[in-house]
Structure 1
Amino acid sequence: MLLFGRGAQRLFAFVAVMMLVLGVVLSGFYFLSPRASLRMTSGFPGTAADKFVKAFVAGAAARYRMVKVSLVPVQSYAESSKALENGKADIAIVRTDIAPPSNGATVAILRRDAVVLVVGPGSRVKSPADLIGKTIAIPQSPVQDDNSRLLDQLLAYFDIAPDKVKRVFLPVAETGAAIQRKHAAAVLAVGPIGPGEAVNVVTSIAKATRGTPKILEFDEADAIAKRFPGFESIDIPAGAFRGRPEVPDDTVTSVAVTYRIVVPQTMLDVIAGMIGKSIIDTKDKLMASLPMVSQIEAPDTDNPSPILPVHSGVANYFNSGDQSFLDSLQQYFYVIGIPLSFLGSLGAVFFGQVQGRKMANDQKQIYQLLVYADAARTADAAELDRLEAAFNAAVTDYVNRIATKGGDPGQAPISSLAIDHARRAFDRRRMDLREQKPTTPGPAVGQAGADKMRGSGPETTAQ
């Protein structure tokens, strides 16, 4: 009896090929960047953030053929945060003081903006607490309302109600004239330490007043940052906003907000690490053509933040570099590959057992056909009829089972031989029984009659 038919061999060959294909696919996953289709919120049209986003998308498309990044248009940083929370975006640019997403994790810091209150030369305002009852000028911009709410938070720390401080929104170039004409006591500027809004405000005030502007210091910056996690403490070096005379004239402590590139905390480490790596690559490529990218920096992995913490995949990459990135890929290779291989092996065993049971049933029926053939050799006529009827029923059942439930095609030639062998056995036995049937005897005749038929006997001789 055959233990394995051609069907089983084909099944095992198929399983082996599938396992080989699986190994090739997982190897490709290990050595290549993972495929990903990512949605990223846009920046405000014409802003530096918008230029960076478009450059990043183009750079990602050129460098990572297996990664597709599409843009999700938004009109505010609050809308950008909401898009990440609602699952409408996979990457978002947010500002830490404007409704940060509850599910966000940082992959990179796009820019760090200092929050400064600039006053004119000889101003009586010496600290933020002196602003009660005064008017604050805020430069016009797409985020002017957000900056006004930022001012409310700072005033709240000094127990100053928002309605106790007036605001006027002016073009940057007119802020100096507002200070010179006493229409405003101070100007709120939110910008980087370097070219940007703060530098432009200082320049405007210096030109209008023909003096040296002053930067109010936030001695309570650390406490403010603890109370309002969207802020952080920052030291502004002397001469950061003007070189001669220097503004500020000495290092000043203030608060800052950061623009961050964030992803969901649930994003796979390997994808988040890839995004962090591609952002740094984009920075290096665009430094000459887009100066603002020089402000991009890796998040501080040693300083945990209560909001927008650093994503674990990004932390691993920035702490260990490319090796960590490959280790993450290897981790997913094992996590995915080993269970799939185990399931494939179980599947092969299961299908092997099913196929083995089918072969066993086929072989059992073939054996029964041979039993009928052996029994036919010594059967009398009545027994032969019974055996042949049982044989025909078995053949019919076997054919019907193959037609409905399938069977091993490799057993078909053996089945045909067994059926043919049994039929020949029945035919030979019937021929033997016909030859063994006795001839019917005629009427009895006496000895005399027999002698007479032979033409001899004692009486004939006597005559």
Structure 2
Amino acid sequence: MASGTETNPAGSSPRWPARRSIALVVLAAILALIGISAAVYYYAVRLEPLRIAVGPPGSDDLKVVHGLSQAFSTSHSQIRLRPIQTDGATASAQMLAEGRADLAIIRGDLSVPKNAQAVATLRKNVAVLWVPAPVKGKKAAAKISKIGQLAGRRIGVVGRTQANIDLLKVILQQYGIDPGKVEVVQFPIPEAVDAIRNQKADAYLAAGPVNSKITSEAIAASTHDGKGPTFLAIDSAEAIAQNHPMYEASEIPAGAFGGSPDRPEEEVKTISFSHHIVARKDLSDATVAAFTRQLFAIRQTVMNEFPLAAKIETPDTDKDAFIPVHPGAAAFVDGEEKTFLDRYSDFIWWGLMALSATGSIGAWFAGYLKKDERGDNSTLRERLLDMIATARRSDSTDELDRMQAEADEILRDTLQGFEHGAIEEGALTSFNIALTQFHHAVADRRSLLMNLSQNLQRAGSALRVTGT
């Protein structure tokens, strides 16, 4: 009885807490993994604002970007645009280079920041060179029909940007004209039409989309007495594009600027350059791919209010492109954009591996902790077997009662161990056999002791009778 009492004293706490502890550890690991998965998913689909630098104030580019920003918000898109107004394309490029913007609208014929990669082509621009029709009653200068005849003339440039003057210099140098031999005067856009009507220059240069309202109004002001202006073809457009990769050889379609007769009356060769939407190269591929996807998804919505949005095109994905394409934009264009599972499959796989490892470690740890519990069960079973032999030799019913009480305690501990997984079903079966044998031994010995007691009582009675 002493041995049984030491194994599990009466009133003590259960001896089988290990399985519950392991279950809590495994549950905590599973909950942690679920939490990590939820965090990854939230990171993947969270709203992400992107700062986009664009200018100058009042420009079509700024209007289009504001339209895109509103469309992104109303469509509940993952990406949000935060326009930052600048003085122009040069200032926008500088903001991107300094990391103060995530995206920017830049001119392809200006210095491109080293950290810029193309996301989309916002629009293509053509260079338009023309000579106004002579005004009746005014002395006309010598007729200009070719670019080579611009030497010594006064050329008006529409717009205040230095980039258009640089464009003019490229054209003049291609035709062997020293830019220093040409007088260049710039006219702000609001003053350009009046300057043209008042013949402030011999020829004019404008740069913008083929359907530019600014260029169309300037050319319309160059029409006098039913005669349209003379358009100067840039026949060396291919050579310019070869020497200056930021330009492309292009054409101005007949009638592009309206009027009657058509302005121009036939196709005119010229050079073109693009306005690009560029992103910082360190912006994540997933973010840029999401922006590019949303941009082309809502383009139709924006173009109803801003027709220039219809000119948005996918970037050049060739390896020798003048502005290298951002990998995220290239993935969208090439149909290789990664899905959620593609981007996070490694995390999911490692998470499952971690969960499996946690389960294996938990099982090993549980087995390690239950080693002592299994040892206790073996000790209890051995004690029960010893009690069988003791019961068969016992000469006292009181001792049998004490052993029976100890067997009850052993049974209670064994059942608790089975419930907590420390005792397997096979061990429980062997224990049940030992317990049954113990009960039989106690019952047999108790019966024997009772019969012996009764026989002794009868023998005593018989001796008393005989003696009498």
In the superposition, the TM-score normalised over structure 1's length comes to 0.67
- Within a 5 Å distance, the mapping from 1:254-273 to structure 2 comes to 254-273=270-289
Counterpart position of 2:349: 338
Counterpart position of 2:29: 15
Amino acid at match of 2:193: A
Q: For residues 330 and 23 of structure 2, what CA distance do their matches in structure 1 show? A: 50
**Offset of 1:81 from its aligned partner?**
1.0
Q: For residues 116 and 58 of structure 1, what CA distance do their matches in structure 2 show? A: 33
Q: For residues 58 and 19 of structure 1, what CA distance do their matches in structure 2 show? A: 38
Give the 3 Å change call, closer, same or farther, for CA 77–195 of structure 1 in structure 2: closer
Give the 3 Å change call, closer, same or farther, for CA 336–234 of structure 1 in structure 2: farther
Q: For residues 261 and 72 of structure 1, what CA distance do their matches in structure 2 show? A: 14
Give the 3 Å change call, closer, same or farther, for CA 330–165 of structure 1 in structure 2: farther
Q: For residues 155 and 13 of structure 1, what CA distance do their matches in structure 2 show? A: 77
Aligned CA RMSD, in angstroms, stands at 3.4
Count of residues in Structure 1 that have an aligned counterpart in Structure 2: 354
- Within a 5 Å distance, the mapping from 1:175-254 to structure 2 comes to 175-179=195-199, 183-207=200-224, 210-254=226-270
Match of 1:329 among 328, 331, 340: 340
Q: For residues 268 and 211 of structure 2, what CA distance do their matches in structure 1 show? A: 15
Give the 3 Å change call, closer, same or farther, for CA 189–359 of structure 1 in structure 2: same
> Unaligned stretches of 5+ in structure 2?
1-14, 135-141, 380-419, 421-468
Whether 1:112 and 2:128 are equivalent positions in the alignment is: no
Q: For residues 346 and 86 of structure 1, what CA distance do their matches in structure 2 show? A: 46
Whether 1:126 and 2:136 are equivalent positions in the alignment is: no
**Offset of 1:358 from its aligned partner?**
9.8
**Offset of 1:29 from its aligned partner?**
6.7
Q: For residues 71 and 348 of structure 1, what CA distance do their matches in structure 2 show? A: 50
Counterpart position of 1:89: 101
Q: For residues 88 and 339 of structure 1, what CA distance do their matches in structure 2 show? A: 36
Q: For residues 177 and 38 of structure 1, what CA distance do their matches in structure 2 show? A: 44
**Offset of 1:28 from its aligned partner?**
6.4
**Residue deviations 1:34-81, cap 9 Å, x none?**
542311113322221111111111221222354333233322211211
Give the 3 Å change call, closer, same or farther, for CA 161–106 of structure 1 in structure 2: same
Give the 3 Å change call, closer, same or farther, for CA 342–82 of structure 1 in structure 2: farther
- Within a 5 Å distance, the mapping from 1:413-432 to structure 2 comes to none
**Residue deviations 1:429-451, cap 9 Å, x none?**
xxxxxxxxxxxxxxxxxxxxxxx
Q: For residues 348 and 44 of structure 1, what CA distance do their matches in structure 2 show? A: 61
**Offset of 1:210 from its aligned partner?**
4.7
**Offset of 1:115 from its aligned partner?**
0.6
Counterpart position of 1:285: 301
Instruction: Percent identity, please.
Output: 22
Q: For residues 133 and 352 of structure 2, what CA distance do their matches in structure 1 show? A: 75
Whether 1:312 and 2:324 are equivalent positions in the alignment is: no
Give the 3 Å change call, closer, same or farther, for CA 338–199 of structure 1 in structure 2: same
> Unaligned stretches of 5+ in structure 1?
371-409, 411-463
- Within a 5 Å distance, the mapping from 1:352-431 to structure 2 comes to none
Counterpart position of 1:135: 154
**Offset of 1:238 from its aligned partner?**
1.0
**SS at 1:242 equivalent:** coil
Contact persistence 1:117–1:215 (CA under 8 A) = yes
Match of 1:46 among 45, 58, 61: 58
Give the 3 Å change call, closer, same or farther, for CA 91–126 of structure 1 in structure 2: same
Amino acid at match of 1:332: R
Contact persistence 1:100–1:307 (CA under 8 A) = no
**Residue deviations 1:271-309, cap 9 Å, x none?**
2222122222332112222222222223344x5553223
Contact persistence 2:57–2:85 (CA under 8 A) = no
Whether 1:169 and 2:180 are equivalent positions in the alignment is: no
Give the 3 Å change call, closer, same or farther, for CA 220–6 of structure 1 in structure 2: same
Contact persistence 1:81–1:94 (CA under 8 A) = yes
Give the 3 Å change call, closer, same or farther, for CA 296–21 of structure 1 in structure 2: same
Give the 3 Å change call, closer, same or farther, for CA 275–358 of structure 1 in structure 2: same
Counterpart position of 2:435: none
Contact persistence 1:134–1:166 (CA under 8 A) = yes
Counterpart position of 1:6: 20
**SS at 2:223 equivalent:** helix
**Offset of 1:264 from its aligned partner?**
2.2
Match of 1:149 among 162, 166, 182: 166
Contact persistence 1:175–1:201 (CA under 8 A) = no
